[in-house]
Amino acid sequence: MTAEALAQAKVNLTLHVTGQRTDGYHLLDSLVMFADVGDVVRVTMADTTSVTVQGPMAKDVPADESNLVWQAARMMGACAEIVLEKHLPHAAGLGGGSADAAATLRLVSRLTETPIPGDLTRLGADVPVCLGNRAARMQHIGDRITPMRDLPALYAVLVNPGLAVPTAEVFAHLANKANPPMPDEIPPMEDGGALTDWIRGMRNDLEAAAIQVQPRIAQVLKAIEVTGGCQLSRMSGSGATCFGLYRNAETAGSAAGRLKEEFPAWWVANTRLNAPS
């Protein structure tokens, strides 16, 4: 009764903040794709729930009921021994905790043959899109998910300077919380270059606010921008992880190698962002 899954990193290629409800929840409009890097979640059904956190990014990740994987098991009405192997930076704008929770939901559902509950935003705004684990448009408070099945793959480099940026603090620095959404329709894209061009015309409304909270994000964006073949550099989510988009895997790999050499203390991942086939 053990199962394992990769909790893939979520990358917000766009992130438009379009409003705020009276209960404090922010309204979003975001194009999301998933990387081929992430955490590993292993679930074994048990009499009591426990969480063990290990891996290169395990530091400061809680192993108690505050961890979303524990809460995900409880939401399923199950007890499990959960081993969380952390490879993604903590509080990094990659939806790591939400992806871990979504993977736990999928695994417990598979092992117990129990359906996953409907209202997952109680665990976090990113959990519903991470549950699908596929390219999607995420709207409202994260509960309106539109799969984007026809998007081409993108070659990317993810970079985090080793800084955790609290999401609440970034939103507190956001000057305008009622910005225009993305267009009603996302047009068909024939290749990654066309998709990158379209993304360039969109925004991450949290980027400027995150730079106010942690100015080093601007340095990261610049470092990515000047790598050979970089077509676009932008922040993901609420930061501090940023990404660069490249024409092919070779160019992205070369850029990742250069960034690792110049900034050995930074977390750098060469990856492919892909929609479902």
Can you read off the two tokens belonging to residue 106? 């999928």
Write down the catalytic residue from 29, 39, 100, 126.
126
Write down the catalytic residue from 10, 39, 86, 100.
10
Instruction: Report the DSSP beta bridge partners of residue 235.
Output: 242
Nearest 10 degrees: CA dihedral of 125, 202, 241, 91? -20
- Active-site annotation holds for 119: no
- The three-point CA angle 238-242-243 to 5° equals 130
- Active-site annotation holds for 222: no
Catalytic residues: 10, 126
